[in-house]
Amino acid sequence: MFHGVTALIALYVIARFIGPMRVSTPSKCVLGVLLLLVAEHHLITRIRFGSMASPEIPGEVLMALGWAFGSLIVLALLLLVRDGIGLLMWLVSRAQGRALWRNRRLNAALGIVSVGLALLGVWQAIRVPDVKAMDITLAHLPPEMDGLRLVQLTDLHASRLLQAPWMQAVVDKTNALQPDVTLITGDLVDGTPYARADDVKPLQQLHARYGVFAIPGNHEYYVDYVHWLPVFEQLGVQMLLNRHVLVSHNGRQLVLAGITDKAASPLRLPLPDVAGALRDAPEQAPVILLSHRPIGAVANARQGVDLQLSGHTHGGQIWGPHLLAQWANQGFVSGLYDVEGMQLYVSNGTGLWNGFPIRLGRPAEITLITLRSPHVKR
């Protein structure tokens, strides 16, 4: 499905951008083949390396491929907007509509803009993210827990693109916030424990007053999930696999629960089980749920969850097309939502998958959340 969509995008750009060029037919054929190769580079790496999740090629090559693929996607979007405007103009005046479609200078400008935006997008994608700080009020948070500080990291995607120096910088920024609890909501890695051993080592330096906790995302299941679990534990990251722990603060308790991901299904491993994760939890204690995907938020709210922290969407990565990611995730793509009284926060992600390293208008983040009680007057 994915490869078919990228091929259709390439064919659209070939027809609407390369086709009108004033170059020879052989030149158009060469450009068309190059575009198709860029569009299908994920398939090529899948055949060559056995997985799209983490091709073991130099980071510089991944950035170049990301730039080329990003240019293709942005150009397709710009062409789509132009063609849409042209269609509206054609309905009013056929001559004006055709003139817009045949404007070669505009075509060239769109090509230049797409390359420039993609370059900016790659830079935005691989830089160490800024801290995003916010207060979240939980209806059932006792006043004794007011001010509890959480840091959420998500979608770190350690890979040949985001290697140990990047991870170290993220860890240093996180620790500087002096969190009470550090939470990682999935997609920590791309690749095997052997390939990523050095890149995940900085996670061992994460420290928080009450501990560092994590859940798997879909990408952990793509490559060597079973062998990653003991590695995470050795790094001091406590995995919440359909279970919960109690965090005691100022004499009161908080339930911190985590679930697995539905990507476990093909491997016949435990599927997400919120009810199981909350089994035997104190009834009066506020509940924070770590769920990699934001989907299922309504059902989770009805099971007594007060705050759900999620990632997975990367915020949609590009403003505008982010609406597709929003549609695919039950309307949740980025930011804070009120879901039947439950607070849902969907992070844009700290890193991102190396197969599409581009961000435009949807910046990465290290999220600092200060919990607030409605019973404390300010």
Which residues have CB under 8 Å from 42's CB, separation 6+? 2, 3, 6, 52, 355
Query: Would you tell me how many other CB atoms lie within 10 Å of the CB of residue 277?
Result: 27
Whose structure tokens read 């204690």? 285
Contact 124, 363 (CB under 8 A): yes
Domain ranges of the chain: 2-125, 129-372
Provide the 3-class DSSP secondary structure of residue 11. Answer: helix
Instruction: Cite the beta strand spans of the chain per DSSP E.
Output: 130-137, 149-153, 181-185, 212-215, 238-239, 243-249, 252-258, 287-290, 307-310, 335-339, 342-346, 365-372
Compute the distance between CA of residue 191 and CA of residue 157 in angstroms, rounded to an integer: 9
pLDDT of residue 287: 98
The whole-angstrom separation of Cα 336 and Cα 223 is 31
The letter for the amino acid at 321 is P
pLDDT tens, the chain, 378 aa long: 888 999 999 999 999 999 998 889 999 999 999 999 999 999 988 888 767 778 888 899 999 999 999 999 999 999 999 999 999 999 988 888 888 888 989 999 999 999 999 999 999 999 999 999 999 999 999 999 999 999 999 999 999 999 999 999 999 999 999 999 999 999 999 999 999 999 999 999 999 999 999 999 999 999 889 999 999 999 999 999 999 999 999 999 999 999 999 999 999 999 999 999 999 999 899 999 999 999 999 999 999 999 999 999 999 999 999 999 999 999 999 999 999 999 999 999 999 999 999 999 999 999 999 999 998 887
- Reading the block at residue 146, the tokens are 């007011």
| CB contact burial 67-100 (16+ within 10 A = b; e otherwise) | bbbbbbbbbbbbbeebbeebeebbeeeeeebeeb
**Rounded to an integer, what distance in angstroms lies between the CA atom of residue 207 and that of residue 204?**
8
Beta strands in 187-242 (DSSP E): 212-215, 238-239
Structure tokens at 243: 């279970």
Q: Is the pTM of this model over 0.85?
A: yes
Q: Tokens 């995470």: give the residue.
A: 232
Please state, in angstroms and rounded to a whole number, the distance separating the CA atoms of residues 8 and 194. 36
8 A C-beta contact, residue 203 and residue 238? no
Class for the domain spanning 129-372: alpha beta
DSSP 330: T
List helix spans (H) across 14-103: 25-39, 41-49, 59-92, 94-101
Look at residue 53 in the predicted model and tell me its pLDDT.
78
As a whole number of angstroms, the distance between CA 133 and CA 149 comes to 10
Is 180:211 a contact under the CB 8 Å cutoff? no
Identity (one letter) of the amino acid at 307? L
Res 50: pLDDT:
66
Residue 283 neighbours by CB under 8 Å, 6+ apart: none
Phi, psi (rounded to 5 degrees) for 260: -80, -165
